[in-house]
Each structure stands twice: as C-alpha cells, then as structure tokens.
Amino acid sequence: MSRSVEGFLKPEEILKQLDLKEDMIAADFGSGSGGWALPLAQILKEGKVYAIDILEEPLSALKSRAAILKIFNIAVMRSDIETKNGSGLKDNHLDLVLITNLLFEAEDKKEVLAEGKRVLKKGGKILVVDWKKDATLGPKQGRVSAQEVKEIAVGLDFKLEKELEAGSYHYGLVFTKP
C-alpha cells in the first residue's frame, strides 16, 4: 500500500468499500496518471479499466506505470468527457465509472455525470470523490459540495446508494443507475 499524508485520499481503501467483482468493466473519467485506474485494474483482474483523460502527458505516464507494474487490463483513451458522448464508449457498457477529483475542474458537472449514466449498464455504479467545500488543502476554485452532486445526480435519475469515508479533505458518494 502506498504511504500517504494523514487524512488524505487512499484510493485502495475507498475502492475496498465498493462491492467490486474481478470481471467488471469500468472507466476512470479524468484518470490522469492512474492514481485510481491502477489500483482498480489490480482489483478487476478479469475485467477491464478504460482510463480516460483529456491530456496526453498523464496518459503516457499511466501507460509506463502500467507496463512497469505488469498491469495489462487498462485501455488508455484520450477524450473530453464534458462533451456529449465524450468518453467514446458504448451505451450501457460499464459496471462502474469513477469520477474522482474531477468535478471541481469540470465546467459542466452535469454533462460529466450524464456521460457516466450513458455508458453504465442498468444497476451500474458511479463513484464520485471530490474535495470538500471546507477542506484546508487542495484547489479552491470550482469545488462542488456533496449536496450539489447529489442534486445533479438525482436530477439524472440516479439513486444515491451510499456515502463513503474518503479522508479528511474529500467526500465519497456512490450512485446507482436505475
């Protein structure tokens, strides 16, 4: 397990709180260099993880890290998920979508969640982890509260399944597609 700052985000710990099966198909929206995609791919040994980001550089770093760790079930995709059908994935295809530390950066938060809904199978789940409004660390601009995310998700007909402990500076929400 990677060492981390006290109270800070531990993707492995948060992923353990989800009911994951080894053969699931998942996507990590805004994957960056793989802080979530890599541990997720290690759990989904028989499945697949689509690591999607708009920037080439972190995706290139992710490919290198995956190769070093001998993780071969990650498909790296460069896409803008803030556009309609922006992930490039098929409708009703995934079991899980991760939206972690992304919404604070997104101009159209609803479009990001709508894209997650489009690609999820019925009963599929979205994990949203983002900065708490009052967190003393992290970016100050664009933060969205857990309550605001719940309102957007419910407006898209998602069902709130549970709230997760995500460290001192982040909240975690799990939504299910009806």
Instruction: Specify the DSSP class assigned to residue 9.
Output: -
Query: Within a 10 A sphere around the Cβ of 176, how many other Cβ atoms?
Result: 16
Alpha helices of 31-175 — where are they, by DSSP H?
A: 37-43, 56-68, 109-119, 146-155
Residue 124 in domain: yes
Global pTM reads 0.93
Q: Is 165 exposed, middle or buried (0-12, 13-18, 19+ CB in 10 A)?
A: exposed
Residue 2: pLDDT above 70? no
Q: What is the CATH number of the domain that holds 131?
A: 3.40.50.150
pLDDT exceeds cutoff 80 at 1: no
21 lies in some domain: no
For residue 106, is it within any domain?
Answer: yes
Both structure tokens of 7:
């109270």
Residue 159 lies in a domain: yes
Q: How much helix, strand and coil, in percent to the nearest 5, is found in the chain? A: 25, 30, 45
- Tell me, what amino acid is at 44? L
Q: Looking at the domain assignment, is residue 12 inside a domain? A: no
Q: Which two tokens stand for residue 16?
A: 């353990």
- Give every CB contact of residue 117 below 8 A, 6+ residues apart in sequence: 126, 156, 157, 158, 177
**15 within some domain:** no
Task: Please report the pLDDT score of residue 3 as a whole number.
Answer: 38
Give how many domains the chain has, as a whole number: 1
In the predicted structure, residue 49 carries a pLDDT above the cut 90: yes
Q: Both tokens of residue 175?
A: 């939504």
The model's pLDDT over 127-173, given as tens digits with 9 standing for 90+, comes to 999 999 988 888 888 899 999 999 999 999 999 999 998 988 999 99
Instruction: Indicate if the pLDDT at residue 33 is higher than 90.
Output: yes
DSSP strands (E only) in 137-178: 159-165, 170-176
Q: Check residue 86 and give its pLDDT.
A: 93
Tens digits of per-residue pLDDT, 79-89?
A: 999 988 999 99
Exposure pattern of 63-75 as b/e (b: 16+ CB <10 Å)?
eebbeeeebebbe
Query: Is residue 148 domain-resident?
Result: yes
Residue spans of alpha helices (H) in the chain:
11-16, 37-43, 56-68, 109-119, 146-155
Domain enclosing residue 114, as ranges: 26-176
What pLDDT, on the 0 to 100 scale, is given for residue 7?
Answer: 58
Place of tokens 């309102």: 151
**The pLDDT of residue 4:** 41
120 lies in some domain: yes
